[in-house]
Chains A and B, each alone.
Chain A
Amino acid sequence: MTKHKAISLGMAMAGAAALSMTTGLGSALAADWKPAKPVEFVVMAGKGGGADKAVRYMQGVIAEEKLGPTITPVNKAGGSGAVALNYLKGKKGDNHTIMFTLNSFYTTPLRQPKLGVNIENFTPIMRMAEDTFCLWVNTARKDGNNIKSVDDFVKAAKAAGDKWIMAGTGKNSEDNLLTDFLNSAYGLKMKYVPYKGGGKVAKQLAGNNADSTVNNPSEQEGFYKAGNTRPLACFTDKRIPLFPDAPTFKEIGKDFVYYMQRTVVGTPGMSADAQKYYNDLFTKVFNSKKWQAYRKKKALQGDPLAGDDLMKYWKRERDVHKAMLKKMGAIK
C-alpha cells in the first residue's frame, strides 16, 4: 500500500501528507507476514569492507527498485564476527533482524567455543554469491623478477624462503588457510602477515610491500586494470571470465577449490513466514539486473541457495573448515 520510501525527513513529511491514512495496524495474517518496522541488517565486518559494500549495495537495490522495507545496516565487526554472532543469538525469534555472513560464520564458532554459537540454530535465508580467490603478484617487482606463472612464483618464493611475504586478511582466516595450502602444496616457507581488510592487503601488494596475496578479484580489480598486479591462478572450478589467462589450480595439478560465501542469515527461531518473506525478497534482489551486474563485475559465482539446501551447505562447509583449522593447528 504505502510504496513510498521515507528518504529524508523533509521529503518524508511532505510525502506523508499525500498518503492516505486508510491503513491502520491491520490484522496481518500469518500467511503474509511483512515487516512492521525497518529491518536491521547486521554486517559481520566493518564499514567499507567487501561485505559492508555488498550490504549497502543490496540496500540500494531494495530502495531503488522498491522491493521491500527500509534496511538499516549495522556493523558489528568485533572478534572476527563473534560479536555479530552473539548479537544475533541474543535476538532469538526476532523477525526484524537479518545478517550478512562470510566464512567466519563457520570458523569463528569453531575457534571460540565459549561463544556457545551453533550455526544450525540460525535461519537460512539465501546465499547471494560465492566470492572467489586468486593468487596475485606485482608486475613490477623491486627485484625485477617478472613472475608470469605459478612455476615462476614457486621458484622465486622457494629462493626467498621465509623472506617471502604473503599479505592476507586476519590470522587464521580464509587467506591464511590458502597460504598454508600453498606452502604445503609447493614446499614453500612464505611468511604470512595479517592485515585488517582486503583493500589494505591489495594495496600492500601494489606498493611492493608484500610479495604475493590471495585477494578476491574485486579487491585487486583496480590495480589489475592499471597493470600493477597480475593473477597467476585461481582457486575456482572454472576459469574466471575476467581473467582468461589465469588457470585454475585444478588445471595445474593441485585440486584445491575454495570460495567465500556471501549469505543472508536470519535470527535463530525466526518464524517460518518471516523466513519465507525474506526468501522472496532476496530472490527478487538476486534476480535484479543490478545485482547480476554486480556479480559479474566482482567476479562473484555461486547459484542462489536457500532453505534446507543452504543448511546442508553450511554443515558441509563447517566440516571442511573444521578439518582445515585442525590441520593448521588453530583448533584441537
Chain B
Amino acid sequence: MTVRTAELVMAIVMGLFSAYLMMKSAELPYGWIPGEGPGGGAWPFWLSAIMLVCCIVMVVNWIRRTNPPSQDMEAFFPAGVLKNSGSVALVLTLVVGLFNGVELGGVTLLPAIGAYLAIFIFMVFYVGVLGRHDFVKTAIFSISVPVLTFLFFELALKIILPKGVTEPLFLPIFKYFGLGGL
C-alpha cells in the first residue's frame, strides 16, 4: 500500500466513523429546542457533520493531488518500519490483553496473568528480542521495572493494578506491610 492509497483509506474510514457518530448522536434531539437552546445530541451531531464534510474535502484533495500524502507513491509501511513499529504495537496489545485476560464468547483467548508478569514479558521482548541486549541487561531491566512499578504505584501510592492468577503471590507482601485487615 502506498502513502497515497493510505490517505484515501484513512479519509474514507474517518468519514464512515463521522457518519456513525452522527447516527449515534441523533439518538438524542439534535435540533434547537425553543426556550432551551440546543438539544442533548446537537453538539456531537453537528460537529460530526463538520467532520464528515472535512473527510469529503480530503477525498477531493486526494483526487486533485493537492497535499503531500496524496502525491506520495512510497510504501506506507516500508519493510523495516512494519517490522519494528508493527511488532511493538502488536506485542503491546497482547500485553494489555494479558493484564486482565481476554475472553470472547466464553473462550479464553488470553489468560489473565496480571500487570506485573505482563510487564516482565514486554520488557523481555523489547530489551532482549528487539533491542538485542545481552542476557544480564535484559534480566536487570525486565525484573527491576515491574518491581519498581509495584513499589511506587502499589505500595507508595496505593494504586492497585490487576494481578490475575498471580494474585496469591502478592498476599504475603500485603500482609508483611500491614495493608490488609488487623
Interface string of B141-178 (1 = CB under 8 A from A): 00000000001100110111000000000111011111
How long is the Cα–Cα vector from A331 to B35 in the complex, in angstroms? Answer: 23
Q: Which one of B151, B156, B174, B178 contacts A5 once the chains associate, using CB atoms below 8 Å?
A: B178
Q: For residue A277, which residue of chain B has the nearest CB?
A: B181
How long is the Cα–Cα vector from A9 to B159 in the complex, in angstroms? Answer: 13
Contact check, A9 vs B172: say whether CB atoms are below 8 A apart: no
Which residues from A are CB-within-8-Å of B180?
34-38, 69-70
Asked whether B79 is an interface residue with its Cβ less than 8 Å from the other chain, the reply is no
Contact size class for B? 20 to 34
Q: For residue A6, which residue of chain B has the nearest CB?
A: B177
Which residues from A are CB-within-8-Å of B156?
8-9, 12
Given A6-B155, A9-B156, A69-B180, decide whether A38 and B171 contact each other with a Cβ distance below 8 A.
no
Which residues from B are CB-within-8-Å of A70?
158, 179-180
Contact check, A6 vs B178: say whether CB atoms are below 8 A apart: yes
Asked whether B90 is an interface residue with its Cβ less than 8 Å from the other chain, the reply is no
Asked whether A155 is an interface residue with its Cβ less than 8 Å from the other chain, the reply is no
Which residues from A are CB-within-8-Å of B172?
24-25
Asked whether B182 is an interface residue with its Cβ less than 8 Å from the other chain, the reply is yes
List B residues 81-120 near A (Cβ within 8 Å).
none
Given A24-B172, A25-B172, A72-B159, decide whether A9 and B151 contact each other with a Cβ distance below 8 A.
yes
Contact check, B177 vs A12: say whether CB atoms are below 8 A apart: yes
Q: Which one of A5, A23, A67, A68 contacts B175 once the chains associate, using CB atoms below 8 Å?
A: A23
Q: Which one of A3, A9, A23, A38 contacts B179 once the chains associate, using CB atoms below 8 Å?
A: A38
Closest Cβ–Cβ distance, residue A267 to chain B (whole Å): 15
Closest Cβ–Cβ distance, residue B182 to chain A (whole Å): 6
Closest Cβ–Cβ distance, residue A144 to chain B (whole Å): 27
Asked whether A30 is an interface residue with its Cβ less than 8 Å from the other chain, the reply is no
List A residues 13-34 near B (Cβ within 8 Å).
16, 19, 21, 23-25, 34
Q: For residue B36, which residue of chain A has the nearest CB?
A: A191
Which residues from B are CB-within-8-Å of A2?
175-178, 182
Asked whether A332 is an interface residue with its Cβ less than 8 Å from the other chain, the reply is no
List B residues 55-86 near A (Cβ within 8 Å).
none
Given A24-B172, A25-B172, A38-B160, decide whether A9 and B155 contact each other with a Cβ distance below 8 A.
yes
Q: For residue A162, which residue of chain B has the nearest CB?
A: B35
Asked whether A66 is an interface residue with its Cβ less than 8 Å from the other chain, the reply is yes
Q: What are 28 of the A-B contact pairs (CB < 8 Å)? A: A1-B182, A2-B175, A2-B176, A4-B177, A6-B177, A6-B179, A9-B152, A12-B155, A12-B177, A16-B177, A19-B176, A19-B178, A23-B175, A24-B172, A25-B172, A25-B175, A36-B174, A36-B175, A37-B160, A37-B180, A38-B160, A38-B179, A66-B182, A67-B182, A68-B181, A69-B179, A69-B182, A70-B179
9 additional A-B pairs beyond A6-B177, A37-B174, A68-B182, beta carbons within 8 Å, are A1-B182, A4-B178, A8-B156, A9-B156, A12-B156, A34-B180, A36-B171, A37-B180, A72-B160
A-B CB proximity, top 10 nearest: A34-B181, A2-B178, A9-B156, A6-B177, A35-B181, A4-B178, A70-B179, A37-B174, A35-B180, A72-B158
